[in-house]
């Protein structure tokens, strides 16, 4: 047992002082951040998010620490603050969603791979690279409940995965398997880069694109399912065929968890040829079971929510032997199947693709592993979103069960956010003057809406976040409101 921890717990109980107070002055951060993993397991044990724990929790931890189970002792192996000590301490970073985060233990593993390559590149290339990539693919296969490792290819990012799928659709037009005017259906809130890819590969090849107009704020899955059904009807009108559906698992802006299983089922019933799920944010923030979802292609980044360094994503293909997918960068392995093609696309740094096992080792140091982390982040992001909405007198953009580890919080209408550009400038303003990093979504008001909420903050919660990060955002916005600030200042 950690003797220091025991002493602080005892002192905390005797002096009725939270461990956080004691520990902040005397104890290294390493000790008290280990407490986090406990609270991930049991939401009733509340962590003071500035790094401390209540005495109630400490007592419980002592009990657990006394347990003879090795597995339980592992709970305390984590040191969140030092794992993320490379983060700029001045910034309240509540935007894990955009670029993710990588703990130092995984960065060190990555650097070891980089050095091994530089030490003896030929040996690394001939003897280690492919087996190491295979090891990562095996780990991903298990994580997402795929049937076979051949179904998993590792690529740089979701953008690359989308290009692979859409390129294949383009060839189907070129090879006259699809007819000019056949359609692709995608959400209006599909990611901007993916929309550009659709333009480059599908529209240019003769396909027509139908966008699903999704409501926001959104109250239920039903609203999305209805909107999607209507779009499929439009896609099939005039004897056209819907050749492709692109469905986000979690839309980026605004962030909404989409009922992807239901939409895939609907696409199957309606005879859609190919279904591609863009789940860039999914792995590590919501449960992923590719068999249950049943899409033809499913991609997710591992550098967003699974603690891998940039950049790595997987592309799952249900029937790799039939799909004729190819990597857009053609190299020696062309024709050997996408997974093998992707494992050599020329000389480059492959290290980010090799550390999936180390990233999983990291998450498994938390009780409940990645499921425990997901649960914790979801719970905390909702708690923080509610706190912010209450302070600003607004609402969440979705019900909690349509949030992942991200949530949309309405900003006060008096800020007068009137365009995407206002949202971007307000974000820069928050970064520059308040050291808060958070994306802002602009929502166009409906005609006749009175005092509409036109701006939403997309907040993320990852294990390194503390409650002060969110207080900083709360206070920054309240400060702007109280000083009479509006986004009109950006127009001058
Ligand atoms: C829904 C969605 N798709 C695709 C992407 C692209 O991810 P990447 O830039 O890692 O390729 C993102 C990035 O945030 C996203 O949110």
pLDDT tens profile 170-216: 999 999 999 999 999 999 999 999 999 999 999 999 999 999 999 99
If you search the block for the tokens 């990588």, which residue do you land on?
102
Handedness of CA 22, 27, 30, 31 (dihedral sign): negative
Find the 208 Cα to ligand 1 centroid distance in Å.
23
Q: Give mean pLDDT, residues 371-391.
A: 97
Query: Could you give the dihedral angle defined by the CA atoms of residues 81, 85, 91 and 97, in that order, rounded to the nearest 10 degrees?
Result: -80
* Shortest-distance atom of ligand 1 to CA 313: 10
Phi then psi dihedrals of residue 79, to 5 deg:
-135, 85
CA distances from 271 to 170, 241, 243, 292 (A): 19, 8, 9, 18
Pocket test for ligand 1, best of 102, 157, 353 (most atoms within 8 A of CB): 157
| pLDDT bucket at 68, cuts 50 / 70 / 90 | very low
Find the 28 Cα to ligand 1 centroid distance in Å.
37
| pLDDT bucket at 77, cuts 50 / 70 / 90 | low
| pLDDT bucket at 492, cuts 50 / 70 / 90 | confident
User: Does the pLDDT value for residue 416 go beyond 70?
Assistant: yes
CA distances from 423 to 91, 147, 254 (A): 19, 43, 12
Find the 159 Cα to ligand 1 centroid distance in Å.
6
Find the 257 Cα to ligand 1 centroid distance in Å.
14
User: Does the pLDDT value for residue 26 go beyond 50?
Assistant: no
* Shortest-distance atom of ligand 1 to CA 157: 11
* Shortest-distance atom of ligand 1 to CA 311: 10
Read off the pLDDT of residues 317-347 as tens digits, 9 standing for 90 and up: 999 888 899 999 999 999 999 999 999 999 9
Give residues with Cβ within 8 angstroms of 353, minimum separation 6. Answer: 132, 133, 136, 154, 312
Handedness of CA 224, 289, 303, 466 (dihedral sign): positive
Whether the Cβ atoms of residue 214 and residue 187 lie closer than 8 Å to each other: yes
If you search the block for the tokens 């991200």, which residue do you land on?
406
Please tell me the distance from the alpha carbon of residue 419 to that of residue 454, in angstroms, as a whole number: 9
- Domains for the chain: give ranges and CATH numbers: 3-83 (no CATH), 109-360 (3.40.640.10), 369-491 (3.90.1150.10)
Kindly report the protein residue whose alpha carbon is nearest to atom 14 of ligand 1: 98
Q: Give mean pLDDT, residues 57-85.
A: 50
* Shortest-distance atom of ligand 1 to CA 252: 16
| Three-state secondary-structure class, residue 323 | helix
Pocket test for ligand 1, best of 155, 250, 298, 301 (most atoms within 8 A of CB): 301
Q: Which residues line ligand 1 (CB under 6 A)?
A: 157-159, 191, 193-194, 248, 252, 278, 280-281, 301
Find the 427 Cα to ligand 1 centroid distance in Å.
19
Pocket test for ligand 1, best of 96, 98, 191, 297 (most atoms within 8 A of CB): 191
Find the 288 Cα to ligand 1 centroid distance in Å.
17
Kindly report the protein residue whose alpha carbon is nearest to atom 10 of ligand 1: 157
pTM of the model: 0.87
Read off the pLDDT of residues 295-304 as tens digits, 9 standing for 90 and up: 999 999 999 9
Q: Give mean pLDDT, residues 252-275.
A: 98
Pairing verdict, β 242-248 and 274-278:
parallel
Find the 256 Cα to ligand 1 centroid distance in Å.
14
**Looking at residue 395, what is its pLDDT?**
98
Please tell me the distance from the alpha carbon of residue 480 to that of residue 492, in angstroms, as a whole number: 18
Q: Give mean pLDDT, residues 414-427.
A: 98
User: Does the pLDDT value for residue 31 go beyond 60?
Assistant: no
Percent of the chain with pLDDT over 70: 84
Residue 246's nearest CA partner among 304, 213, 198 is: 198
When the pLDDT of each residue in the chain is averaged and rounded to a whole number, the result is: 88
Find the 143 Cα to ligand 1 centroid distance in Å.
20
Find the 165 Cα to ligand 1 centroid distance in Å.
15
Find the 180 Cα to ligand 1 centroid distance in Å.
29
């Amino acid at each position: 047992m950690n003797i220091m921890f025991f002493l602080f717990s005892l002192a905390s109980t005797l002096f009725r002082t939270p461990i956080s107070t004691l520990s902040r002055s005397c104890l290294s951060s390493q000790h008290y951040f280990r407490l986090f993993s406990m609270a991930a397991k049991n939401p009733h044990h509340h962590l003071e998010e500035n790094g401390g724990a209540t005495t109630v929790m400490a007592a419980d931890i002592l009990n657990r620490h006394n347990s003879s189970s090795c597995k339980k002792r592992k709970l305390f192996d984590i040191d969140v603050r030092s794992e993320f000590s490379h983060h700029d301490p001045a910034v309240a970073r509540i935007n894990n969603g955009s670029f993710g985060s990588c703990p130092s233990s995984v960065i060190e593993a990555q650097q070891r791979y980089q050095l091994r390559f530089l030490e003896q590149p030929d040996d690394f290339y001939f003897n280690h690279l492919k087996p190491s990539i295979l090891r990562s693919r095996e780990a991903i296969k298990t994580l997402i409940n795929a049937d076979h490792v051949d179904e998993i290819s590792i690529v740089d990012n979701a953008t690359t995965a989308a290009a692979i799928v859409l390129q294949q659709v383009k060839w189907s037009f070129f090879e006259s398997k699809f007819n000019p005017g056949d359609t692709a259906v995608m959400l209006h809130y599909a990611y901007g880069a993916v929309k550009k890819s659709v333009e480059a590969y599908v529209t240019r090849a003769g396909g027509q694109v139908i966008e699903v107009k999704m409501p926001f704020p959104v109250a239920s899955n039903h609203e999305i399912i209805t909107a999607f059904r209507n779009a499929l009807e439009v896609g099939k009108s005039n004897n056209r065929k819907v050749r492709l559906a692109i469905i986000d698992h979690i839309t980026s802006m605004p962030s909404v968890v989409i009922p992807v299983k239901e939409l895939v089922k609907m696409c199957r019933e309606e005879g859609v040829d190919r279904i591609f799920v863009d789940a860039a944010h999914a792995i590590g923030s919501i449960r992923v079971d590719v068999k249950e979802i049943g899409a033809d292609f499913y991609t997710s980044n591992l550098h967003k929510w699974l603690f891998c360094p940039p950049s790595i994503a997987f592309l799952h293909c249900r029937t790799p032997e039939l799909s004729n997918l190819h990597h857009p960068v053609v190299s020696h392995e062309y024709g050997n199947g996408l997974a093998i093609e992707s494992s050599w696309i020329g000389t480059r740094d492959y290290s980010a693709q090799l550390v999936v096992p180390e990233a999983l080792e990291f998450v498994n140091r938390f009780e409940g592993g990645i499921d425990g982390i997901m649960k914790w982040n979801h719970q905390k992001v909702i708690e923080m979103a509610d706190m912010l909405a209450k302070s600003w007198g607004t609402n969440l953009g979705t019900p909690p069960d349509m949030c992942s580890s991200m949530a949309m919080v309405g900003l006060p209408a008096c800020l007068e956010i009137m365009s995407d550009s206002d949202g971007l400038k307000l974000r820069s303003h928050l970064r520059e003057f308040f050291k808060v990093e958070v994306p802002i979504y602009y929502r166009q008001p409906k005609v006749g809406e009175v005092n509409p909420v036109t701006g939403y903050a997309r907040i993320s919660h990852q294990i390194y976040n503390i409650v002060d990060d969110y207080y900083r955002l709360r206070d920054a916005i309240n400060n702007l409101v109280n000083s009479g600030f509006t986004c009109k200042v950006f127009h001058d």
